[in-house]
Structure 1
Amino acid sequence: MNKMYYPVVALALGHLVTDMQAGALPIVLPQLKELFSLSYSQLAAIVLLQNIMSSVIQPAFGYLTDRRSLPRFLPLCAALAGAGFAFVGWVSSYTLLLCTVIFISLASATYHPQASKTVNFLSDDTNRTKNMGLFSIGGNAGMAVGSIFMTFLLGLAGGIHNTMYFAVPGLLVFLLMAKAMPDYIRVNKEHEVQQAKKAADGTSEKMSYFALFLILFYIFMRSSIHSGISTYLPLYFMKFRGFEAVFSSSLVSGFLLGGVAGTYVGSILSDRLGARKILLGSITLSIPAIYCITIATTKLFAMASVVIAGFCIIGSFATTIIIAQCMMPNNVGMASGLTIGFSVGLGGFGVTILGVLADKFGLPMVMQLLVWLPIVAAITAIWIPIPKKLQK
């Protein structure tokens, strides 16, 4: 394996292990509800706490890592996320459960900005977005792997106590990342020296707040579309197309797997074609795919539509991270937190708005609305100023 490729792969695997917890948490909520006799409001509080602590506050941790890089914390954070979830099945009270969720989420919130900026520093202009795509796949795959792994463990003797096995992948990735630690320390130190030199010479690049707003708004729209489709797909096809529950639920898996493929393909094409073509092309191509979802009446057509839609919608994921990092050269960690955590987390609020509209006007209207929302994102993409190093 290429000397500089291994450290990126290790960070991607750390991303996978860290995000496994987010995928596994919804699977154990029914067991936790029964175990502690929780209300639906208490369950919602767990999910909200996890979302706020691991996603929304990521920019704050990114800001801290910009002030002082913490590459040595990377393997520790990934291991602690796994070890923290191992205790979920063993806590004795709801209060301890909330504390455990906070612990896991803080480990995740610390890992993402530092790991993302380190991937940036390990890359050059020929493979920057490709490497970020590989890193992003780790997170997308982690959600799916965590869900599948936890479902498997619940079927074994021991039930919810089997969360303890989540400590194993955390330990393994700790060892993998520890091997690459010299490279992580070196590239972070080199970046700090470069930025200090630019500050002393008065050549530091100034950030455009309007440009940053545009890229974050684009991510918010993309996240709302992606989360909206994944949230309402099963209900739409069960209630309005008459498909059975198992197949309707499998459409979500197809949608997410399409997104995993789209993330990597989009990152490779971004390095070759330029960032704007990926921003505009991916979101524009999603329009006919989403439309096909709304008119699908057969299982084959429905599955093909959701896979293609997932592929197109999320194809710009890595590209938007790199754009924001280039826009904020003095705050690369904060840029990572804003794009990976905060803006994506806001997509949850977008889904809430869509839910209110569905209650008032019906789910078919919301699915039709999702066909039009990419147009807003596409118009935004036209106006986003692309940094010179990402232009082709």
Structure 2
Amino acid sequence: MQKTNNKSKPPTTSQTVYPILFIIGLCHLLNDSLQAVIPAMFPILEKSFGLTFTQLGLITFTLNMVSSVMQPLIGIYTDKRPMPYALPLGLTSSMFGMLGLALAPNFLTILISVLFIGLGSAIFHPEGSRVAYLAAGTRRGLAQSIYQVGGNSGQALAPLITALVLVPLGQFGAIWFTLIAALAVFFLIHISKWYAAQMKAFSNNNIRHTARKPDKKMSRSIKNALIVLVFLVFARSWYAAAISNFYAFYAIENYGLTIAKSQIYVFTFLFMGAVGTFFGGPLADRFGKKNVILISLLAPAPLALVLPHIGPVSSIILLASIGFLLMSSFSVSVVYAQELVPGKIGTMSGLIVGLAFGMGAIGSVALGSLIDLFGLTTTMIAISLLPLLGILTYLLPSDEKVRQWYK
């Protein structure tokens, strides 16, 4: 009984609550594995409904735009009025969307189902990030990495979902993922109880009042830094969207692979991206967030330029390296934004993560159209230039400078 009472006590700001971090990370994995079903179904839907690449891009656009538009709005609202029990409600929406996707008879029904999944994701991400923040203690980079690696691992499951579930079972195989959504709802009810208890002693109001209000000059610097961060997220998201949504088609066309075998390439990229996400946070805690963001984009740039011009074996090695490096800044970007604007945990998480979804959505439609117009190879060569935008990281203020702003 004494053990339970200790667990129910709110943490001090120096404590890292690992059980909560691991559970919210697992829920992030379950949530994003539901989203991973959608791009995983692309080859199935293309054959079943005769969809064009533009229509496939529109499906991703619907999913990601709902998430990207709603996430910052939900973050702004919950920064003022936290909503712990919105977490299980969000995954309930995703569960209904997954049911609709499994039974969809036409393209319009697919889009409506995807909308429900996107809404559930939009609700989950800002509040899930707040849970990670509350449980982080002094290790914010590590905490955000544990949370985000769950999501990236869920996304990495897409190729396995295609090969093991959707290829043998077809579109109806998506029905099994309603059980995954139900499992996430169960865990999130527990998380919501813990979250609600913390707000009495560790509320956003307390966090917000500890920060010095920025003057006009500092406000301008913060806005400029956020604009630069937006461009960096843009570059990362468009490139990741190209690989995760369309590289399977590129491998099929250029290497003569089956649908199942082509998924190995995408899985390699996404799995190593999840590994990079995990290591990025602890590295940022030690070496600085700006440094990790810089290396994350510039280091894979030459590899991305070479990728469209090599053979099937070498491309797997490059995809692993690019995925690890590129996604190592995913969680770091969120923490950097949260420290730029203290007290706006949900807003900054919604902005950066939601922006990643939104940019990926716009990128999917644009890339799908470019593929229809110019072909896969030409488009893949063009997008290989995107990581070079990492040079903009030099315009970001250093971690030390951001800390000095709020002393």
- Shorter chain as denominator, the TM-score bin is 0.7 to 0.9
Q: 1:286 aligns with which of 300, 312, 324?
A: 300
In structure 1, give the amino acid aligned to 2:66. M
In structure 2, give the amino acid aligned to 1:129. G
Q: Mark the CA change 1:296 to 1:170 in structure 2 (over 3 Å): closer, same or farther.
A: same
Of stretches 58-67 and 167-176 in structure 1, the one that deviates more from structure 2 is 167-176
Shift of 1:346: 1.2
Shift of 1:373: 3.0
How do residues 216-365 of structure 1 correspond to structure 2 at under 5 angstroms? Answer: 216-237=230-251, 239=253, 242-245=255-258, 247-297=261-311, 299-350=312-363, 353=366
Structure 2 counterpart of 1:114 = 127
Please give the alpha-carbon distance, in whole angstroms, between the structure 1 residues aligned to 2:107 and 2:69.
Answer: 23
Shift of 1:282: 1.9
Secondary structure in 1 matching 2:329: helix
How do residues 160-171 of structure 1 correspond to structure 2 at under 5 angstroms? Answer: 160-171=171-182
CA contact (8 A) 1:285 1:312 kept: yes
Q: 2:196 aligns with which of 166, 182, 185?
A: 185
Shift of 1:281: 1.5
Structure 1 counterpart of 2:186 = 175
Please give the alpha-carbon distance, in whole angstroms, between the structure 1 residues aligned to 2:360 and 2:152.
Answer: 15
Q: Mark the CA change 1:110 to 1:386 in structure 2 (over 3 Å): closer, same or farther.
A: farther
In structure 2, give the amino acid aligned to 1:141. S
Please give the alpha-carbon distance, in whole angstroms, between the structure 1 residues aligned to 2:168 and 2:262.
Answer: 26
The answer for unaligned runs of 5 or more in structure 2 is 1-6, 8-14
Q: Mark the CA change 1:350 to 1:85 in structure 2 (over 3 Å): closer, same or farther.
A: closer
Structure 1 counterpart of 2:154 = 142
Shift of 1:293: 1.9
Q: Mark the CA change 1:191 to 1:6 in structure 2 (over 3 Å): closer, same or farther.
A: same
Percent identity, aligned pairs only, is 26
In structure 2, give the amino acid aligned to 1:204. K
Secondary structure in 2 matching 1:57: helix
Please give the alpha-carbon distance, in whole angstroms, between the structure 2 residues aligned to 1:6 and 1:83.
Answer: 29
In structure 2, give the amino acid aligned to 1:279. I
In structure 1, give the amino acid aligned to 2:88. P
Secondary structure in 2 matching 1:385: coil
Please give the alpha-carbon distance, in whole angstroms, between the structure 2 residues aligned to 1:34 and 1:351.
Answer: 19
Structure 1 counterpart of 2:11 = none
Q: Mark the CA change 1:384 to 1:183 in structure 2 (over 3 Å): closer, same or farther.
A: same
Shift of 1:214: 0.9
Q: Mark the CA change 1:178 to 1:232 in structure 2 (over 3 Å): closer, same or farther.
A: closer
CA contact (8 A) 2:290 2:399 kept: no
Shift of 1:179: 2.9
CA contact (8 A) 1:150 1:163 kept: no
Secondary structure in 1 matching 2:203: helix
Shift of 1:336: 0.9
Please give the alpha-carbon distance, in whole angstroms, between the structure 2 residues aligned to 1:251 and 1:156.
Answer: 20
CA contact (8 A) 2:304 2:385 kept: no
Q: Mark the CA change 1:343 to 1:142 in structure 2 (over 3 Å): closer, same or farther.
A: closer
Please give the alpha-carbon distance, in whole angstroms, between the structure 2 residues aligned to 1:97 and 1:50.
Answer: 10
2:213 pairs with 1:204: yes
Please give the alpha-carbon distance, in whole angstroms, between the structure 2 residues aligned to 1:93 and 1:365.
Answer: 31
Shift of 1:353: 5.0
Please give the alpha-carbon distance, in whole angstroms, between the structure 2 residues aligned to 1:261 and 1:301.
Answer: 20
Q: 2:37 aligns with which of 9, 14, 24?
A: 24
Q: Mark the CA change 1:374 to 1:4 in structure 2 (over 3 Å): closer, same or farther.
A: same
Please give the alpha-carbon distance, in whole angstroms, between the structure 2 residues aligned to 1:289 and 1:123.
Answer: 34
2:390 pairs with 1:381: no
What RMSD over aligned residues (CA atoms) do the two structures have, in Å? Answer: 3.5
CA contact (8 A) 1:118 1:187 kept: no
In structure 2, give the amino acid aligned to 1:290. A
How do residues 63-142 of structure 1 correspond to structure 2 at under 5 angstroms? Answer: 63-90=76-103, 98-125=111-138, 127-142=139-154
In structure 2, give the amino acid aligned to 1:135. Y
> Could you list the per-position Cα deviations for residues 100-144 of structure 1 after superposition, in whole angstroms to 9, with x for gaps in the alignment?
33332212111111111221222133x211121121121122223
Shift of 1:315: 1.1
Q: Mark the CA change 1:306 to 1:195 in structure 2 (over 3 Å): closer, same or farther.
A: closer
Shift of 1:55: 2.8
> Could you list the per-position Cα deviations for residues 232-286 of structure 1 after superposition, in whole angstroms to 9, with x for gaps in the alignment?
534555555x453455542222111121111111122111111122111122221
CA contact (8 A) 2:91 2:184 kept: yes
The answer for unaligned runs of 5 or more in structure 1 is none
Structure 2 counterpart of 1:9 = 22
Shift of 1:42: 6.6
Shift of 1:205: 4.7
Shift of 1:6: 1.2
